Structure 1
Amino acid sequence: MVRELINTLSFWQLALLYILILTVLTYLAAFISTRLITFPIDKDHRALSNSLISILSAGFSVLLAFIIINTWNYLLKTQDEVAKEADALAAMMRDIHVFPAPVKTKIMNGIYNYTIIARTQEWAMLTQGKESSAAWAALHHLITILQSFEPRTTLERIYYTQAVRNLETVLETRRNRLARLHSIIPDKLNSALIIGSIFLVVILGLIRGETNFLHITPLLFFSIVLGFNLAIALSFDYPYSGDIAVSNHFFYQGMLGTFKDPVTPS
């Protein structure tokens, strides 16, 4: 559900949605509490409510900050894996220049096919949490081509070894980036994070027990910050989805930039 939401809405739309929901719930809770409380609200009540609000909001904020840091690192590691995969493919293109022309052409075509599928068809599927079987087939074909070549000269053996190492890097980094297709936050914790945010602002609104703008302003600001941070945490959690996503631009840089995407007929 969260993936579909961040794919449908831009980051700012998502943030505004969360902020709107939480601030409205905060105000409604405070409004209901105001109607239920019949005794006068004095300084002692405000001091006690402020203490409770500080404790509850601080505890949840620490948890949310911890989640944001981890999901941000999750996104950065995914980006690093994509960059390493693209670098290894580009390095293979350099390695095969010493091979005989027919072999070089076959391997180059294999690299081309895999690169094009990975950065176009598969990248579109990644946003939906899926991988491409065509990309795996293209990579397997590239492996088969490289295995069928038997280097003869010393120079060919040196660069063949390098090409094999780079191909192994492509395999490893591909597995690593596909392993990050899904959320790092468990589904139950994901749901608890959203429900907990709603529950927290409702409780804080009820504790405050005042709808006077001056007295409820701190709570409204907290709801705004909470909604914004919640949008950040959930957006970082899906590295290939939404506005804040790992880009495929690494597959268009350097030597891989010489490959042109096929033009689809309109």
Structure 2
Amino acid sequence: MLRTLLNAVPITVLMVAAVCLTVAVMALAVWVVRRTVPATRDGFHAEISAPMLGIVAAVFGLLLAFVIIIAYQNFLEADDNASREAAALSSIVRDSAAFPEPGGSNVRRAVGAYVRSVVEDEFPQMREGTDSDVAKGTLDGVFAAFRTVEPRTPEQTAFYDDAVRQLNETLDARRNRIESAVGGLPWDIAVLILFSSFVVVAYSLVVGSPSFWFHLLGPAAIASVVAVSLVVLVDLSYPFSGDFAIPPDDFRTGVLKAFFN
């Protein structure tokens, strides 16, 4: 559901909607708290509860920032996997120029088919968290093409060995790329973040004030920051989905660009 929402709604709209909904919910919550706990209208013990709220919010902020940083690092790693796979394929194409024919042409043709299937079929499917059967089939075609190569000289053998190593690098990077496309947060981290968010927002509701609007200011500000942070966190957790999805640009540059002309 979260992935579908990211793919269907622009991230800026999600952030604005999250803030508006949060402020509305906080306004209702403050109204309920002021009616059910009349002492909050007098700002009871605000001189003690307000500093304590600051400490709780600071600890929660550190926790949330840490999780977002980890999610961002995973996002960068997913981008690096795509770049590494494209770089390995580029090396195979360059190495294949030294192969005897028809093996060299077979390898280049198979790599081209695989690259096109990744860009045109697999990346769109990765937005939904799945890989492509078409890409799997064309990758098998690359292996079949390698079996048609028969190196005859030490130079050809050296380039062939390097190409095989790059093919293994391609497999490793592809496997990591597909795993990253699944996305999402571990359930225990999600529970921790949601529980911590509830605690800090609930705490802010009991820091009262004689003024309704001043009472609302604290919970609304804290909850809005939490809501926007959670939207960013969710977006980073699905690196191949949403507005900031990792694009297949690396597969359309350098020597691989020739396969799209």
TM-score by length of 1: 0.89
Amino acid at match of 1:170: T
The CA RMSD over aligned residues, in Å, is 2.2
Between 1 and 2, higher relative CO (CA 8 Å, sep ≥ 6) is seen in 1
- 3-state SS of the aligned residue for 2:97? helix
Amino acid at match of 1:92: I
Q: Deviations over 1:206-257 (max 9, x none)?
A: 4436653234323322222211111111100011111122111111111111
For the structure 1 residues 198 and 46, does the alpha-carbon distance in structure 2 shift closer, same or farther, using more than 3 Å as the test?
A: same
Residue in 1 that maps onto 2:112: 112
- Alignment partners' CA distance in 1, 2:5 and 2:244: 13
* Conserved 8 A contact 2:207-2:215: no
Residue in 1 that maps onto 2:70: 70
What is the deviation of 1:55? Answer: 3.2
Question: Which ranges of structure 2 fall in alignment gaps of 5 or more residues?
Answer: none
Q: Deviations over 1:27-79 (max 9, x none)?
A: 22111122223347556522133134223322322221111011000000010
Amino acid at match of 2:134: A
Q: 1:102-251 alignment to 2 at 5 Å?
A: 102-183=102-183, 185-190=185-190, 193-194=193-194, 197-198=197-198, 200-208=200-208, 212-251=212-251
Question: Percent identity at matched positions?
Answer: 26
* Conserved 8 A contact 1:71-1:184: no
Question: Which one is further off, 3-12 or 111-120?
Answer: 3-12
For the structure 1 residues 208 and 59, does the alpha-carbon distance in structure 2 shift closer, same or farther, using more than 3 Å as the test?
A: farther
Question: Which one is further off, 178-187 or 132-141?
Answer: 178-187
Residue in 1 that maps onto 2:56: 56
For the structure 1 residues 123 and 211, does the alpha-carbon distance in structure 2 shift closer, same or farther, using more than 3 Å as the test?
A: farther
* Conserved 8 A contact 1:6-1:235: yes
Aligned residues: 261
For the structure 1 residues 74 and 53, does the alpha-carbon distance in structure 2 shift closer, same or farther, using more than 3 Å as the test?
A: same
Question: Which one is further off, 208-217 or 114-123?
Answer: 208-217
Question: Which one is further off, 190-199 or 151-160?
Answer: 190-199
* Conserved 8 A contact 1:22-1:201: no
Q: Following superposition, which runs of at least 4 residues in structure 1 exceed 6 angstroms of deviation?
A: none
Residue in 2 that maps onto 1:33: 33
- Alignment partners' CA distance in 1, 2:86 and 2:126: 16
Residue in 2 that maps onto 1:4: 4
* Conserved 8 A contact 2:209-2:215: no
Question: Which ranges of structure 1 fall in alignment gaps of 5 or more residues?
Answer: 262-266
What is the deviation of 1:195? Answer: 6.2
